[in-house]
Amino acid sequence: MTQTLNTLNTNFAVPNALRFTEAVPGLPVAEISTPLATASVALHGAHVLSWQPAGQAPVIWVSKAAIFELGKPVRGGVPLCWPWFGPLADKPMHGFVRTMVWQVRGAELDASGQLVLRLGISDDASTRALWDFAFDLELVVTVGSTLTIALTTRNTGAAPFSINQALHTYFATSDIHQTTVQGLAGGSYINKVQNFAVCQQEGDVVFTGETDRIYTDTTADSVIVDGVTGRTIRIAKQGSASTVVWNPWSEKEKNIVDMAAGEHRQMLCVETCNAGPDSISIPAGGVHTLAATISVE
């Protein structure tokens, strides 16, 4: 059942902090504005589209060419990949929840003035056709001077299941050539641009070409350093054993219809995941939460 804009504003608007608008007709967006930060979250995909703590430049990147259309993923923000990551036979890339319309379950200001928004979905005939399990998913977005995104999976069926998942977060940066990622040194990664070869990370991650890597067996924080402004963005995580780092670079970018020319220079993805070999098994009745807390230092 789709929640209309009217219903959403009547039931969930928070005075001086949250109201619902539409990105395009039929695609509601929670617009959050508090003294701590502004943010927006589309109900389509439970997709965080922006977050800007007070006094900072935007932290999250969305393409100028992004497409806002029912059933199409948005290029940028924080797409949710679930219950698989990447391609799977003839099924939708990165799973099916990033193109579903989620329900708002609650919204409130907490004691420290953070806006807490709860969205959810559960299995239906369309999800059963792609993946035959009973589930409930809840995304809690906590918007303040930090941003926390927590995705809780509940197995509501009688059979166990396994998932891969990602908070596929696109970050804004001044110039990818002068951007590094700290926190992954010494770890190993699956290099998707070298035929899935397993490689070892030496030092910080630097970007000199197409980069598409699954860092496995890591629970460490990642820190993005913008070498132009000196700004650092820390991503701390929970319930996550892998981190994906992605930049399509100039050639791949040309094949991405919803990315404008040259935009790869101002973005990178550092994704809080359970990807590749890091799958999560959830028994009947079991629960798992994947979470990232993003802060600007």
Which residues are designated catalytic?
168, 271
Rule CB under 6 A: choose which of 244, 267, 282, 290 binds ligand TA6. Answer: 244
Binding residue count for ligand TA6, defined by CB under 6 A: 11
Residue 47 host element (H or E): strand 47-53
> Quick one: which segment of 34-42, 86-94, 101-109, 119-127 binds ligand TA6 (CB under 6 A)?
86-94
Distance between start and end Cα atoms, the chain: 41
Rule CB under 6 A: choose which of 12, 20, 96, 246 binds ligand TA6. Answer: 246
Dist. CA 244–CA 26, nearest whole Å: 32
Residue 5 host element (H or E): helix 5-12
Dihedral sign for Cα 196, 171, 201, 250, please. positive
Rule CB under 6 A: choose which of 47, 94, 237, 264 binds ligand TA6. Answer: 94
- Residue 113 as a binder of ligand TA6 (CB under 6 A): the answer is no
* Contacts with 90 (C-beta within 8 Å, 6 or more apart), sequence order: none
Shortest reach from residue 87's CB to ligand TA6, in Å: 8
- Residue 86 as a binder of ligand TA6 (CB under 6 A): the answer is yes
Shortest reach from residue 227's CB to ligand TA6, in Å: 23
- Residues engaged in binding ligand TA6 (CB under 6 A): 73, 86, 93-94, 168, 192, 212, 244, 246, 269, 271
